[in-house]
Amino acid sequence: MAAWAPDPDALRGRVAVVAGATRGAGRGIAAALGEAGATVVCTGRTTRGAAGSSRSDYDGRPETIEETAELVTRLGGTGIPAVVDHLDPQQVEQLATRIRDEHGHVDVLVNDIWGAELLKGGPDQWDTPLWELDLETGLRILRLAIDTHIITSHHLLPLLVEEPGGLVVEVTDGTTGYNASHYRISVFYDLAKVAVNRLAFSQGKELAPFGATAVSLTPGWLRSELMLEAFDATEADWRAAAAPPDFALSESPRYVGRAVAALATDADRNRWNQRSLSSGELARVYGFTDIDGSQPDVWRYMTDAEDGRAGGYDDYR
């Protein structure tokens, strides 16, 4: 059986916006859309420009939106960096005007803005009662996770509904089913991730009459730049990392990106409208693989483990 490979022309001529494309899942999604030939507007706050990373909640991180855009172009698409703070409605409105002037419309909108990975704290701070948490920090988490997505959709959806077939992807952590029955780290984190699932459901209801589709999408255990750094590992040697055993089922950011590309190329994607999906689930449906040729599915593993029927890790990769 031949190894899976992306179709370099599957999304040629299509215009995508990946909001929050500087690093992590956003960069992986932008890259995968580039593999498929799309024009990708890559937004974020960290830039090589004079402003530097002064407005980023990951102050001092080396990744930039220019790097992401260059990666998109290297992979066969057209990458366009755009410096945007998605909490600033005026900046997002200016982005919408620029896209209308330069491209006319949007085919794919990916709301991947997050920026609160450091604010949520590490494992020693998880499961802390609400009344013991810092309120200002918690409200900042909610603003970064929810307000940014709403502001972005408000200004960019008019560009998406002008032509039928548009796709909105709300990126979160955890499927609707998993999040509904599991407490996630803290009240603020829990609410943030559940809310994004619901945003996709609500937008799907409103977009359906325009022939557009909205879904929420979760990666599994993501080998983001921050995660690899936490385990003192690289993409080349992550399997040897001193990490919990189920890190064996982790995935590169490109994997969830290939899930987005698969949805965008599916002429029947409206069958997924308002659904909560995962990268591993969509890999089984569409046949794409991670960059190492595997199909990791940590969410399926965790569900099976809770039911006492999980096999070995190889069964979920």
Asked whether residue 64 is assigned to any structural domain, the reply reads yes
**Exposed, middle or buried: residue 239 (CB in 10 Å: 0-12, 13-18, 19+)?**
exposed
| β-bridge pairing 39-44 and 78-83 | parallel
Q: Give 100-169 as a DSSP string.
A: HHHTS--SEEEE-----TTTT--GGGTT--GGGS-HHHHHHHHIIIIIHHHHHHHHHHHHHTTSTT-EEE
**What's the pTM?**
0.96
Asked whether residue 251 is assigned to any structural domain, the reply reads yes
Q: How confident is the model at residue 51, as a pLDDT?
A: 52
Asked whether residue 157 is assigned to any structural domain, the reply reads yes
CA-to-CA dists, residue 23 to 42, 128, 182, angstroms = 10, 28, 27
Question: Residue 244: which residues within 8 A CB-CB, separation 6 or more?
Answer: none
| Phi and psi angles of residue 83, each rounded to the nearest 5 degrees, phi first | -80, 115
CA-to-CA dists, residue 164 to 12, 57, 111, 117, 215, angstroms = 17, 36, 19, 35, 16
Q: How confident is the model at residue 53, as a pLDDT?
A: 45
Q: How confident is the model at residue 4, as a pLDDT?
A: 95
Number of domains in the chain: 1
Residue 281's CB is within 10 A of a number of other CB atoms, namely 19
Asked whether residue 5 is assigned to any structural domain, the reply reads no
Asked whether residue 189 is assigned to any structural domain, the reply reads yes
Instruction: Summarize pLDDT for 210-221 with one digit per residue, the tens.
Output: 999 999 999 999
Q: How confident is the model at residue 1, as a pLDDT?
A: 46
Instruction: Summarize pLDDT for 151-166 with one digit per residue, the tens.
Output: 999 999 999 999 999 9
Q: How confident is the model at residue 57, as a pLDDT?
A: 80
Can you tell me the distance from the alpha carbon of 315 to that of 296, in angstroms, rounded to the nearest whole number?
Answer: 9
Terminal C-alpha separation, the chain: 17
Q: What share of the chain is helix, strand, coil (3-state, %, to 5)?
A: 45, 10, 40
Residue 25's CB is within 10 A of a number of other CB atoms, namely 29
Asked whether residue 34 is assigned to any structural domain, the reply reads yes
Locate tokens 């997505």: which residue? 149
Write the CATH number for 193. Answer: 3.40.50.720
| Phi and psi angles of residue 129, each rounded to the nearest 5 degrees, phi first | -60, 150
Domain range enclosing 108: 15-316
Asked whether residue 212 is assigned to any structural domain, the reply reads yes
And the tokens for 234? Answer: 């690289």
pLDDT in tens, the chain (317 residues): 468 999 999 999 999 999 999 999 999 999 999 999 999 999 999 998 755 444 678 877 899 999 999 999 999 999 999 999 999 999 999 999 999 999 999 999 999 999 989 999 989 999 999 999 999 999 999 999 999 999 999 999 999 999 999 999 999 999 999 999 999 999 999 999 999 999 999 999 999 999 999 999 999 999 999 999 999 999 999 999 999 999 999 999 999 999 999 999 999 999 999 999 999 999 999 999 999 999 999 999 999 999 888 888 999 98
Q: How confident is the model at residue 58, as a pLDDT?
A: 81
Asked whether residue 7 is assigned to any structural domain, the reply reads no
Q: How confident is the model at residue 60, as a pLDDT?
A: 78
Question: Residue 239: which residues within 8 A CB-CB, separation 6 or more?
Answer: 248
Q: How confident is the model at residue 55, as a pLDDT?
A: 60
